[in-house]
Every structure is written in structure tokens, then in C-alpha cells.
Chain A
Amino acid sequence: MPNHPVPVPSSVLAALKNKTIHLSAAKMIHSLFLVNASGDIFLEKHWKSVVSRSVCDYFFEALERATEPENVPPVIPTPHHYLINVLRHRIYFVAVIQSEVPPLFVIEFLHRVVDTFQDYFGVCTEAAIKDNVVVVYELLEEMLDNGFPLATESNILKELIKPPTILRTVVNTITGSTNVGEQLPTGQLSVVPWRRTGVKYTNNEAYFDVIEEIDAIIDKSGSTITAEIQGVIDACVKLTGMPDLTLSFMNPRLLDDVSFHPCVRFKRWEAERILSFIPPDGNFRLLSYHVSSQNLVAIPVYVKHNISFREGSSQGRFELTLGPKQTMGKAVESVLVSSQLPRGVLNANLNPSQGTYTFDPVTKLLSWDVGKINPQKLPSLKGSMSLQAGASKPDENPTINIQFKIQQLAISGLKVNRLDMYGEKYKPFKGIKYMTKAGKFQVRT
């Protein structure tokens, strides 16, 4: 049936036009500003028309208002734009948005940018970014097109833009070759976009690290208020060709909630509780999991503490002793204790039985590098704190944050059963390592 044009009243037309104008606001990420700790913009990139730097003034205002760097709100509305920022490595990545977009979309992407920089330059610092500004620009250009993510897989990016190495820089200057790939990365078009093709190694190896972190809050009396285990399996796979791996666990039921790298076949996991995947090349996070809080979590260290301030006195007592508990016979290493002392504390005069401690009189941060806990001779930190004269006794006792590592132990009891490889002929070298760490481990005093 032919469509005859119907005369439209001019008011409707005007309304339509208004609507068009309203909708033409470009979506997704418009611009990106990188701001360092001292509040200077040191890099800007625009994917669409240029947005003036002055838009960041709203961000600086929020920065000034915030008492701590972390307290800057992640989403800041301004009259014409929205600023979404993330803070990593003491750099603010401020994205400028013009209209509705899921905020997590932008946040997730910004974190992916940071991860990519870290992957490329080893560290993500202002200096590293400034030194590699061309690569940074090339990366940002590939990662976003018109503000919409285009290529964010590290394997694909590395084929498009080779990471800078000293050797390559030298070779490039001599031969005149470039860092930029000429062909579309094969991954972009394949069903396994995360893996590049034509991978070759002389030593084929696959390493898996099972790392578990304990998040806990322990109350004054030493009883556990909340504790849960968050685990990840990080892999470093250097295998030739297109290997198809399966990884099975002795006790997969432990894994309560999991999230996978896109390479993992979800259906297989649902049906058989086996991880089956064609791995990306190099380092990647295969799996992160949560061990349900219903299970009892073993707490590997205990803290005996006595921190007290007396009314009217300018002295406070500080005593802290650490000891191992439920460690399954493994040593607790790299122990680091830190605590934010009350504002009234001027200085601390302490005596550690082992390790070293520092107290920063400005930030009031006490940190004690303990090292390894020797069960025969428990480490302790004792001494006195001097308080501001005349000031009243602080209300709150400080919380103690503890970090530690235990090698060769996954505290949840998770065990990998076996790792098999299909699809390739050679015999790879396989390795599995377990480690338990403290996550957000806090003791209230």
C-alpha cells in the first residue's frame, strides 16, 4: 500500500524538531581527562567535539569538598554534562558524559582502561602515561569509537598496538617499522575473540594461582562479626595453538557464586561443575568466586589488644599482640598491621618485639611491618601515645587493619582435581599454586 504524505500541522513539526534536537545529544563517553593527585589535568582526549577543560572545575570543587581523596562522589552532575570518575593509582580518570548512560558502563570501562595501561606499561602512573603518550592515544583511539567501546580485550589490543619495550623501540628506530599492526586482529572476527591465533611457544606451560582473600570484621572481644572468603583463579597460560582446557575441582560445591572470564563455557559448568575453556594467551583472571558466608570461615590470626586513654592524662597506653590460629600448620607471612589513631594523638612511642613500625603525626597512621609470625615467640608492639594536652579523651578506639599471606593454603579448602588439555598434541607443563591473603580484615578495639 503506498504511503501518501499526510499534511502535518506546524505545531507538531516544531515538537518533532525539538525532540530531534533533544535526542541528538551524543551518548556514551564524550571526553576523558586525567587528573593527578595535585589537581592538574595532564592528559585529555576527546572522542567527539572538544569539551572545554573548564568542565573539570565542577570536579575540582567536589575534590576540595572531600575530606579524603576517596570521598569524591563517583558521579557529579554539572549543568550540561555529567562527570563520572574513578580513582586508581592516585590518578582520577574523569569521563565527561552528555546524557543518560548506565554509570557502571562508564566506570567499568574506565577501570578497563587503567588495567590496559598497567598491562602495557607495567605501572599506571602519571610519569608512565606521559612517557608513552602516543601509545596511550593510540590505545584510547582503538578502545573507543565515538564514545562506544570497540576493542577492550588485551589480546586484541596487543595485536593492534604492540606494547612498548626497549628492544622494540631500538629495532623500530633502526628498521623504521612501527608499533601498529596492519591487519585486523584475528580475534575480532572469530568465535574466540579473546585469543589471538598463531600462538607459538617452545615451552608450553599453564600456571594457575588460586588466591583467596578473607574479609572479616572481628569485634572487641575477638569474636567474628562477619567473615567471608572471596577467591580468584588467576592464570598464566602460554600454550601453542588452540588448546582446549578443562579444570575440575575436588569440591566444586564450595563455590557459591562465581563469575567467569568470557572464555569459560557456562553450560558445562552448570551441568558438570567443570571449567572448560579455550584460554586467552598470557595472563588473565579465569574465575572469581565467593564462598558462602553460611560456611564457617577459619580466621588464621588473632589479635590481643589494649588501647586505652585516660581522662585528664596526656598519655595513652598501646599494646598489641598477634598470634596464629587455625592456619592448618602453615606459616603466616608478610604481616602488616595498620591503624588510624584518633586525631588527638600527637605521637606514639612504641617498642616492637620484631619488625619495624612508623607513625605519621600528620595523617595519624600507624603501621607496623611485622613479617612472619613465629608461634613460639609472638610479635607484640607496646608503648605509649602522647595526647594533645588539654584535649578530651578520644571517643573511639581505632580499628586495626591486618594484612597477611599464607602460602600453599586455600583457606576455604578448595582443591583443584585435575587439568586436562585437548585439541593439541604436545604435553604442557602444568602448575597450581594456592595462597590465602587478608582482604579487608579489620579488628575493632
Chain B
Amino acid sequence: MLNHCFLCRNEDLKEMLESSKESLKLEAMKRIVGLIAKGKNASELFPAVVKNVASKNIELKKLVYVYLVRYAEEQQDLALLSISTFQRALKDPNQLIRASALRVLSSIRVPIIVPIMMLSIKEASTDLSPYVRKTAAHAIQKLYSLDPDQKEHLIEVIEKLLKDKSTLVAGSVVMAFEEVCPDRIDLIHKNYRKLCNLLVDVEEWGQVVIIHMLTRYARTQFVSPWREDAVFDENSEKAFYDSEEERRVEQSKPYIMDPDHRLLLRNTKPLLQSRNTAVVMAVSQLYWHLAPTHELSIITKSLVRLLRSHREVQYIVLQNIATMSIQRKGMFEPFMKSFYVRSTDATHIKTLKLEILTNLANEANISTILREFQTYVKSQDKAFAAATIQAIGRCATNISEVTDTCLNGLVLLLSNRDETVVAESVVVIKKLLQTQPSQHSDIIKHMAKLFDNITVSMARASILWLMGEYCEHVPKIAPDVLRKMAKTFTSEEDIVKLQTVNLAAKLYLTNSKQTKLLTQYILNLGKYDQSYDIRDRTRFIRQLIVPNEKSGALSKYARRILMAPKPAPVLQSAFKDRDRFQLGTLSHSLNSQANGYLELSDWPAVAPDQSVRIVEVVEPVKEAGAPVFGKSKPGKSDEKFYSDSEEEEEEEEEGSSSEDSSSSSSEESESESESEENSDDSNKSSSSQSDSEKKKKTLKNKKLQQQKPDSKDRTKFFLMHIVLSFSNQFVASCRCSLLCLYVFLVCQFDTISWDVRVSLQASSPVFVPETSRELLHRMTGKGLSAQYRFTRQPCIYGNSMVSLQLTLSNSSDQALENIHISEKSSTGQNIHRFNAIERLEPQASVTVSMGVDFNDSTQAANFQLCTKEDEFSVSIQPAVGELLLPITMSEADFTKEQIYNKITKTLKLNLNEIPCGLSVWLANDRLGTGNLFKNNNLLKCYKYLNI
């Protein structure tokens, strides 16, 4: 009957779907979605629904998509009808439509369309819109779960998408990576630094995934920072070293953290302030697994903050804190009070808090904690009260000072009215007494008295065991207890029966005169018991203690077997071994390995090659093969995605906030146009101003020759090229490639010697950014604001100096007098100061130039900017690129110098590709690397090559 009705309604819906009215169709679809939501089967409407897949009405279309994804797997043939619509939509100019078409297409779980999906994913992964590329990353996982055989092709797509610079894509592609090929760590190397730098700007869900992946990555690539810390976690620490010898070797060298390791720690730290609890937890576990121990404390506050969140969040966070607090009490001890239990907490929250409090207990705070526990014992929540008693037991064994206090407290609890409390106390007392039985025969006597009133079997069994074990301390009472037990034996629970048999046997051995008959009676009862276990035990005991001809040698030792001193049980936390799982994971939460859990590897003893992370050339994202409909603005939209953390200066340089500061003089526009000419012209652009540069160059070369007489004009220079175009977007990528270049240089210098036979001449820079960076904000400067800009011109004050242009403006309403740079420089850089400005009128601004010798390092130059009244500390941090100068070199010269094959190869490759210009940057920088040009000052030589 009901079924019939349902069918009627479906007929009704079918009609509506087939009508020509859009509104009726929509109404029908809404009802169908309602059915799906309730879990009702609406699959028979498939033919009627699928017709509407090409509808113009976007809401209708979306609802059809919902339906399709739900039922396509069941109706594969019909689902194929819709495929062409999606294929068409994949070419739509609207990125939202392209993306949602791909989403649905990839969600239709029909194996036949796997090739189409593969193709669409490949295409979408080169789409201009990052949103579509993000969708492609999601589709990878879907296709993979549909057809794992596509793995290899999918990995190719992942590799390509990992290079994507959009923050939108990063999280999704790492997710795909984790799902499809988590073991292909090699794909991450080149993207490691980029991911670290983008991290702050990735959406929060992506952050979680990336952080977890990077944690795993870091554990395979860096060496342990915990080396000096011998106290920390000895068990797992030892495992990292194969032998003691190796350990000694390791420790003999001082530990220096890999800069990439540091980069990860530094860039994740601000995320501890995230509002997303999953992100905070992810960073915390990263620090736990990767940070040097002394830096660990910064995660404490954030974790404690999470305890204010929802119940479920508290639960997970408390579990993780419980694991942490076992190894490091100190981390959470100052926050002990945050773990005090409230009567309104859920039971599992209470138990976890209790666990943590117990872990945190030490000699100093135990009295406070015990006082708190006293309140908990009285709780109406009896399960919690019982857990508290166990906790007291643990405190008592761990801290010997309070064992007696705890024991007395527990004995008091024996007169509690609640049975669970009493039973739990008995069990805990039993465990405690095992540590020092002789002093506590009073307690045993007391418990014997209570025995009649206790009905919980576990507690009864515990008392019986105590009697038997320490029967010598209570010689009068024990036989009496046995007598009582003989009476009730048949009605006891198994566990109690077993302990009765035990007690009987022990008494028989120690005091056979009084108990022989009782024992035999009990053994007889046990012989005919219903339970196998008890019958077995009885038989065993009888053979053991009652000597007869068959029993042989064993019975001689019966006393030694039964009355052997037993080690006291160790009361330890349930979280003791949880640290075998990565914190924050599902497996940790369940304390069992979840499906798909990826083990966190141990630190390698020797760090793998660091240079794998160096990115040689950063090319702009090639948009080749992208759909032609590119209505989305390519450069502009991409540019926005550069992380602002990528490099501070970069962001500010690009930032269009201060449109065009007055500082951009005509000189630069000239130089820019000049360089433009150069790119078209052949190599003639040796400017006269570079004479000084030349001199210095030769000088340098001489010096080098002295160092290395055998290689005449060889200098340890290394040629790298960087493609420069004039688009703003491109400068950004150059910037970051410069950094990479720098690191690369540092690593390669040892092995490469390079001829510089070419006469090197500094040329004018190709591009000079016109925006300036802030030196002093007008708020902090009390009206005085200062901006600076690298002019990228040779400095007139000295060869080793970098020239800077400073724009000072007065935004207060009073004139500022005597603006100058204070004589004392805090960091020791040589600074050529500008002449003091006597007076700066309100709203006026003035541009001055100065020179700073950065000593070839990116260390910030700190100095004092002074007015008549005030002093402001300011600092300028140069990017590596600002320390370099361009040089000119003919193509012929250039090709001659192909000593370093690999590089030239790439170069040539690029020569063919790059239409507008190619710069050769010769860089030398001794920063941080002791091995090259130890005593030389900055060598600025870089120039621009014309083709």
C-alpha cells in the first residue's frame, strides 16, 4: 500500500520533470533531493532527471548534479548520457561552471569514463583559474579510488600541481599526494621551501594537511635536534643510534639545525594563533615531533587555550596532552589548574583530566592534587570516583613521600557507603600493600573485618589474595576467613573461588594444623565445580600441596612456588605507550593503528643530501596548453597568490599601496628604457659608470689568483642565469629564484671553478622596482615617516656599499628639525650617512640617498634615525638580490664559458625560449659559507646579457 503511494508520487514527480516549465522542474528536483536526504530510494527517476542536466537554470542544474552523483554508480548506462554535457561545460568561459563540471564528472563513479576523467584532469590541471586547478587536485583522489591503475599518470599530474604557486591549490594537491603516493617523498623536495613559505596563506584545512605531510617529510630529511638533550625520552632516543660508538661520533660534532628545518618551525609558529583548532593541534604535533626540546614550551598555552572549545575538541586535545604530560611534566605543570575537573564535565573529559593531573603530580604539588582528588572521590559520578581512587593509587606508588597518606585515605574510603568506591579502594590498597606488607598488618586486619560486607567480587578476591599472601602477618584471622569462605564457596563468583583455593593452599602450607580439613573440603568442592577453570586449578593445587606417591619432586617445592615473593604491580598511565603514534592522529586517539595510518619514521642518523631541496630555476608557471578562453586575467590573479610571507620585501615591493613614491626619479625610467633597448640591441651596453666596477673586478681576480695559483684566471665564480621580464609578476618569481640561486651557489662553490675571462662590466639594472618599503611608520615616528628603496645603482660612496634612497616625510603638524642618522651604528655595518636635514616642514617630504655596506650578508643594518627631540631605531634588511650587480657579457663570451655543463644546458634551453631578455647574474657572496672568499668584501658583478 505504502509502496503504491510512493510510486504514485514518483509518477507525479516524473511528470513535473518532463514538463516544459522551469519552476515545476525545480520544484520536482527539490522534492527529490528531500527524498535523497531522508535516505529514500529515488533511483527510478534517473531517466527523467538526467535529461535536465543541461538546463540553463543554475539551481536546477546543481540539484541534478547532486542527484547524478548519488545514483550514477547504480545506473551506469544512463549516466553516460550526461557525460557529453560535462565535457562541453569543461570548456565554459565561466570558471565556476568549469570547476563544477569537473567536480561532478569526477564524482560519477562509472569505470568506463576513466579515460575521459584522466584527460579532463590533465587539462584542468593547466587551467588558468586556480579554482579549477584546485578542483583538479580533488578529482585526482576520486579517480584514484575509482581506478588505482591510473596511479602513474596521476602522479605526473600531482607533480605538476605541486609546482603550482597558488595558495588555493597547495592544500588540495598535498591532500592528493597523501592519498595517492605518500611514499614519493622525492616529489616534495623541490617544493618544500615553497610550501613552507605559502603555508600561512593557505586556507585552514589545507594547512592541516600540509603540516602533517611536512612533519613526516622532516622526519626523513633532517637529523634529530634532540641530540644534546640526554634526559628526554631515552627509550626512543636510543633507537636512533645503532650502537654506542656511533652515538659518540654523532655527539662529538656540534649539532647545527638544517636551515630548512628551522624554516619549517619558524613558518608554522604563527599558526598556533589560528582560530581553527585542527590547525593549532597540527602545529603542536609538528613541534612535538620536530622541535628542539627547549622550544617545545610555546605550544603549551595554545593547547590549554583549546580546552575552552567544544566538548569534542577538549576530548581530543586532552588525550594528546595526556601523552605529552607523561614525557614532559614541566610543559603543563604551570597550567595544572586548567585541568581541574568541573562537575559539569562529561565523564570521559573528567577521566582524561584526572589522568593528566596524575601525570603532573610530583613532590611539590602532590598535596594540592590530593586535596583536589578528595573532592572528586565524593563525586556523584561513581565511575569517575572509582577512576580517582586508581589515580590516588598511582600517585602513592610514584611518590613515596605520600604513600602512607594515600593509604590512610584509602582505608578511610573503605567505610564509604558506595560499593564501587569501596571495591576500587580494596583493589588499589591491595596493589599498594604489595610494596611494603610488613608494616601494614593493621590494614589487612581491617580489610578482613570488612570482608563480610563487601559484595563486589573483584574486591573480595583481592582481600582473599592479601590474606593468603600475608597469612604469616595475620596468623589468627586468615584461617577464620577461610572458614567463612568454605561456607559460601558454592555461591561465589569464579574469581572469588579461585582466590579461595589459593588461600586454602597457602594456609595449608603454612598452617596445616588448623586448616588441613578446611582445605580438603574446599578442594573437594572445587573438584566438582561447574567451571573448568576451577576444576583445573583444584586438581593442580591438590597435586602440588598434598604429598602422594605420584606427585613426585614438585610438591617438595610447593611452598617455594606458592609463597614466592611477587613483584609489586606497576601502576602506570594508560597513555604510557601512546607516543608510538603520531600525535593528533586518529590512531593516537583510538590507541590502535587506523586504516591508512602512515608511520612517522625515526630521524635519520645522517641527514640526506640537503641540496635536493634547492630549486635551481624558477620559471613562471607555464600556462601552455591552457584552454584558450582565458578570460580570467592571467598575471594579475596569479600575482595575488604570492604569499606575503614568502619574502617580506617582495610583498612590499609589489604592493601597490603606495602607488608611485616620489622617489622614483627620472634616472631610473631612463635606465629602464635603456635596458629595454638593450634587450633588442646586440651587446653594446657597457656603461661608462661601470669603470670602477671593472677595476674592482680585476683586483678581485688577482686576489683570487693568489689564493689559487694553479688555475690562472679561474675564479670560483659561478654562472647562473635568471630570466627577467618586465612584468611585475615575473619580478616576484625572480626574487624567489634569487634566493634559491644564492643557496645553490653556496653549495656548489666548492666543486666548481669557473673561468671569468670575460671582462665583466656592471651594467644598468634591467628592472628597478619603484615602490619603496617602509623604514619608519608615521605612528611610531611621531609624525616622521621614512621609506627606503634600493636604487640598484653602483654606490657613489664606496664600492662595497649598496646605495639606498630614503624618502623622509613629515606628516605631523609641526616642522621637524635636524633629521640625521646617529653616529653610533648598532650592528657595525659601515653606513654612509646622509647630510642632516635641518628642517622639514609639515606635510613636506625630502629624498636623500645613503650607502650601506652590508658586508655581503643579509643581516639587517640597524641604526638610529634622529630628529631634534627623538631617536627612532630602524633597520633595513636587504634581499640577497639587492647585494648583486648586473654585468654584461656577449653571447660568444658566454658560450665560451660553458664549463659547467649542466648549467649551460639549462641556460641554452632557456635562451631559445625567452624572447625578451636574458640576464646573467654572476654572484658571489660569502654569507654564511666559510669556504669561499673568506676575506673578500662584496664583489658585485652581474650584468645583463644581450642576445
Contact = CB atoms under 8 A, between A and B. Distances in A.
A176 B24 CA distance: 10
Contacts of B375: 444
B342 A217 contact: yes
Given A82-B594, A103-B586, A103-B589, A189 B37 contact: no
A150 B203 CA distance: 9
Interface residues of B, number: 111
A312 to B, nearest CB: 13
Nearest to B335: A293
B356 interface: no
Contacts of B277: 104, 107-108
B178 A27 contact: yes
Interface stretch (B2-10, B186-194, B311-319, B499-507): B311-319
B586 to A, nearest CB: 5
B910 to A, nearest CB: 22
Contact of A70 (B273, B301, B305, B346): B346
A100 B596 contact: yes
Contacts of B63: 134, 137-138
A99 B95 contact: no
Contacts of B212: 102
Contact of B145 (A24, A71, A230, A258): A24
A178 B58 contact: yes
A146 B59 contact: no
Interface string B271-313: 0011111101110000000000000000001101100101111
Contact of A396 (B36, B200, B281, B379): B379
A395 B418 contact: yes
Contacts of B592: 77
Contacts of B487: none
Contacts of B378: 395-396
A394 B417 CA distance: 9
A152 B275 CA distance: 13
B343 interface: yes
A107 B316 contact: yes
B71 to A, nearest CB: 9
Contacts of A64: none
B62 A138 contact: yes
Contacts of A436: none
Interface in B581-601: 584-587, 589-590, 592, 594-598
A145 interface: yes
Contact of A102 (B208, B302, B312): B208
Contact of A98 (B151, B344, B595): B595
Interface string A242-284: 0000000000000011111110001000101000000000000
A442 B343 contact: yes
A259 B148 contact: no
Nearest to A153: B203
Interface in A97-114: 97-105, 107-109, 111
A377 interface: no
Contact of A45 (B37, B107, B340): B37
Nearest to B311: A70
Contacts of B60: 178
Contact of A183 (B96, B205, B317, B596): B96
Interface in B90-132: 94-96, 99, 103, 106-107, 109, 129-131
A22 interface: yes
B274 A259 contact: yes
Q: Which of A41, A173, A183, A188 has the most CB of B within 10 A?
A: A188
B39 interface: yes
B30 A134 contact: yes
Interface string B73-100: 1000000000000000000001110010
A102 B584 contact: yes
A288 B597 CA distance: 33
Interface in B246-271: 270
Contacts of A394: 380
B342 A440 contact: yes
B380 A342 contact: yes
Contact of B135 (A25, A68, A145, A152): A145
B172 interface: yes
A191 B597 CA distance: 34
B204 interface: yes
Q: Which of A71, A184, A266, A343 has the most CB of B within 10 A?
A: A184
A93 B485 CA distance: 52
Interface stretch (A48-56, A320-328, A405-413): A48-56
Contacts of B103: 145
Given A21-B148, A146-B142, A189 B637 contact: yes
Given A189-B168, A225-B340, A442-B344, A180 B594 contact: no
A190 interface: yes
A36 interface: no
Contact of A134 (B33, B151, B594): B33
A68 B346 contact: yes
B159 interface: no
B454 interface: no
Contacts of B347: 67-68, 71
Contacts of A53: 39
A133 interface: yes
B479 to A, nearest CB: 34
Contacts of A84: 312
Given A74-B315, A176-B23, A226 B337 contact: yes
B310 A104 contact: no
B346 A230 contact: no
Contact of B596 (A27, A111, A180): A27
Interface in B193-211: 200-201, 203-205, 208
Contacts of A266: 200, 270, 273
A429 interface: no
A180 B380 contact: no
A361 interface: no
B109 to A, nearest CB: 6
Given A44-B37, A99-B597, A290-B304, 11 more contacts: A24-B148, A53-B39, A100-B587, A138-B63, A146-B138, A146-B139, A148-B172, A215-B308, A217-B342, A340-B380, A395-B418
13 contacts: A20-B151, A44-B39, A50-B73, A75-B316, A103-B586, A138-B63, A148-B175, A180-B59, A260-B275, A288-B275, A290-B308, A340-B343, A442-B342
Interface of B: 22-23, 26, 30, 33-34, 36-39, 57-60, 62-63, 65-66, 70, 73, 94-96, 99, 103, 106-107, 109, 129-131, 135, 138-139, 141-142, 144-145, 148, 151, 168, 172, 175, 178-180, 182, 200-201, 203-205, 208, 212, 270, 273-278, 280-282, 301-302, 304-305, 308, 310-313, 315-317, 335, 337-338, 340, 342-344, 346-348, 372, 375, 378-380, 416-418, 584-587, 589-590, 592, 594-598, 637, 640-641, 644, 780
